[in-house]
Amino acid sequence: MKYILSPSILSADFSKLAEDTASAVRGGAEWLHIDVMDGAFVPNISFGAPVYKWLRPVSDAFFDVHLMIDRPERYIDDFLKAGADLICIHCEATQEIEAIAEKVHAAGKLFAIAVKPATPAEAIKEYLPLCDMVLVMTVEPGFGGQSFMANMMPKVAKFRALREDLGLDYMIQVDGGISLQTIGDAAAAGANVFVAGSAVFKPGETEKNARAFIEKFKTFK
């Protein structure tokens, strides 16, 4: 299993986004997690495509775009054009999952579905063949710096079991409260892509923090 760190830029210093994200990449992060929030699907507003498009020409990282917005089908073209490598939508936010997956795949990019803590794995079972990744939220989406919900680990394990049963090969991502203390549980349950915001981005420590996660991966079997 390949383990991937996807630092969430929500915790970066937006006055020096290029510098901060480059530090995370120097520490070994291959992905950057880009949290788009609309103030409707979640009770917070972050930024949209016009912000991260400026990062695209200065970063070789894989752009993992997590859309916490209502009816994301309205903006998929914009998010693709701004440089997303993967688009992750919430199943609770749209009736158009198949059409979005088709559009993302037609552009040669990866498609993922996220589930909020209250949404069971079974809710997206029929869509799993369309998924390159599933995202199990380990906090209520909306804010960085919240506590990890260990009670989401059975859901991670359920997605791993479904992958086996259905003969699929999607990645499993966890997002929220991931730290050097909590990541082991998530890996043991079957996650292989780890979002971490507040545990990575800290002034002067970002590169070192990212590297500590990469070192930690070596302890997983």
The residue ranges that bind ligand DX5 (CB under 6 A) are 8, 10-11, 33, 35, 66, 139, 141-146, 175-178, 195-199
Counting other chains too, the contacts that 96-103 makes at CB distance below 8 Å and 24 or more residues apart are 96/71, 97/124, 97/127, 97/130, 98/127, 98/130, 99/73, 100/72, 100/73, 100/76, 101/127, 101/130, 101/131, 103/76, 103/77
What letter would DSSP give residue 116? Answer: -
Provide, rounded to whole angstroms, the least separation between the CB of residue 22 and ligand DX5. 19
Q: How far apart (Å, rounded) are the C-alpha atoms in residues 6 and 163?
A: 22
Select the span of 16-24, 65-73, 124-132, 181-189 touching Zn ion (CB under 5 A). 65-73
Residue 176 binds which entry of ligand DX5, Zn ion, none, with Cβ cut-offs from 5 to 8 Å by kind? ligand DX5
Select the span of 96-104, 170-178, 198-206, 212-220 touching Zn ion (CB under 5 A). 170-178
Provide, rounded to whole angstroms, the least separation between the CB of residue 167 and ligand DX5. 30
Q: From residue 171 to residue 200, what is the string marking binding to Zn ion with x (rule CB under 5 A)?
A: ----x-------------------------
Active site residues: 35, 175
Residue 145 binds which entry of ligand DX5, Zn ion, none, with Cβ cut-offs from 5 to 8 Å by kind? ligand DX5
Q: What does each C-alpha distance from 188 to 28, 86, 221 come to in angstroms? A: 21, 24, 9
Which residue carries 């999952």 as its tokens?
97
